[in-house]
């Protein structure tokens, strides 16, 4: 306690020194960064993009009636060939895309429905292979056995 009192009464006797240059203590450090890089605004989610697209394509009269009325359940559009899918899968199917039938049609469908264009199917195939090899044990537990994924992706 005596030492602390001495520091307060006679600061010149302590080992503390004043900084060599003035230290700025208020505000964040300023760096030359573009305004959009400093922004805290987040990117819209997929659902927000879809909602924006749907609201732009609807006629203005139907938009006004939706605002005044109570919120109601999402009206499903008619999906072609929906009855050809297993009933368990049907509630999750929102669209059907007709793609080139070349043996890679599954990858083409995924690419098309993601909005990437069906010609980007090799990227989808590669991403799926990476996912399956990275989480091999988890997928083995899910399907009940180990599957040699390389056989599926070799051609």
What pLDDT tens digit does each residue of the chain (155 aa) get?
A: 777 787 777 777 777 677 777 777 777 666 666 666 666 777 777 777 777 777 776 665 554 445 555 455 555 668 888 888 888 888 888 888 888 889 898 899 999 989 999 999 999 999 998 998 898 888 888 777 777 666 666 55
pLDDT for the residue numbered 35: 63
Within a domain: 145: yes
CA angle 123, 124, 127 (to 5 degrees): 85
Contact at 8 Å (CB) between 95 and 113?
yes
Within a domain: 4: no
Domain that holds residue 145: 120-155
What three-state secondary structure class fits 29? Answer: coil
Within a domain: 132: yes
pLDDT for the residue numbered 97: 85
Within a domain: 17: no
Within a domain: 41: no
Within a domain: 155: yes
Domains contained in the chain, number: 1
Within a domain: 130: yes
Within a domain: 40: no
Distances (CA, A) of 141 to 17, 93, 138, 148: 65, 26, 5, 14
């Amino acid at each position: 306690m005596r030492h602390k009192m001495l520091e307060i009464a006679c600061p010149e006797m302590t080992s503390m020194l004043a900084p060599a240059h003035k230290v700025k203590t208020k505000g964040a450090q300023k760096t030359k960064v573009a305004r959009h890089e400093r922004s805290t605004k987040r990117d819209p989610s997929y659902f927000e993009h879809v909602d924006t697209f749907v609201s732009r394509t609807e006629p203005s009269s139907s938009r006004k009636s939706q605002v005044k009325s109570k919120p109601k359940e999402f009206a499903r559009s008619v999906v072609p060939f929906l009855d050809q899918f297993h009933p368990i899968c049907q509630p999750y199917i929102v669209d059907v895309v007709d793609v080139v039938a070349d043996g890679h049609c599954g990858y083409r469908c995924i690419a098309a429905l993601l909005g990437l264009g069906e010609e980007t199917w090799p990227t989808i195939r590669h991403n799926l292979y990476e996912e399956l090899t990275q989480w091999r044990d988890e997928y083995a537990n899910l399907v009940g056995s180990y599957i040699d994924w390389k056989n599926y992706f070799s051609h």
